[in-house]
């Protein structure tokens, strides 16, 4: 899914240096802290996959469930990467809702222009 970056474009995801441990609630069990640290070496690549999946959908966007299905990614892996993208300004809630397989309404996520908020 990677595409070349023009010289005048910002690089959204620097290779390797974008890896970081996952977030953990203060009251989380010890296993959550271990899992967050284990995610660090691959978090940048997975974040990029999630971003490119959302970006490839254009204005239509994708729900978390659609991202998980498209990437064959566990919800516990996809959702934290998408949250990081929202927090960094690369992805935003479109304001549109779509039904999931269970019939519940889900947020539709879209890529922003250049990561601007």
Give the pLDDT score at 2: 46
CB 106 within 8 A of CB 65: yes
Looking at residue 30, its pLDDT comes to 77
Say if CB 47 and CB 102 are below 8 A apart: no
Ranges of H-type helices in 57-74: 64-71
Q: Supply the pLDDT for residue 24.
A: 63
* pLDDT score, position 105: 98
For the chain, what's the residue count?
117
Report d(CA 49, CA 77) in Å as an integer.
11
Cβ pair 74, 56 in contact under 8 A = no
Separation of alpha carbons 4 and 9, rounded Å: 10
Pick the CATH number of 30-111 from 3.40.50.300, 3.40.50.10310, 1.10.8.870, 1.10.10.10: 1.10.10.10
pLDDT in tens, 9-62: 444 544 323 555 666 667 877 777 666 666 655 678 899 999 999 999 999 999
Domain boundaries defined on the chain: 30-111
DSSP-based three-state secondary structure for 67: helix
Q: 68-106, pLDDT tens digit by residue?
A: 999 999 999 999 999 989 988 899 999 999 999 999 999
The per-residue pLDDT for 113 is 79
How crowded is the C-beta side of 45, counted as CA atoms within 13 Å? 6
């Amino acid at each position: 899914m990677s595409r070349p970056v023009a010289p005048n474009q910002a690089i959204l995801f620097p290779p390797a240096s974008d890896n970081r441990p996952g977030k953990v609630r203060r009251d989380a069990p010890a296993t959550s802290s271990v899992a967050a640290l284990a995610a660090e070496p691959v978090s940048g690549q997975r974040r990029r996959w999630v971003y490119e999946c959302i970006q490839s959908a254009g204005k239509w966007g994708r729900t978390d469930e659609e991202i998980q299905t498209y990437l064959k990614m566990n919800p516990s892996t996809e959702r934290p990467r998408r949250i990081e993208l929202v927090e960094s300004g690369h992805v935003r809630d479109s304001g549109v809702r779509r039904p999931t397989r269970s019939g519940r309404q889900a947020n539709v996520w879209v890529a922003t222009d250049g990561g601007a908020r």
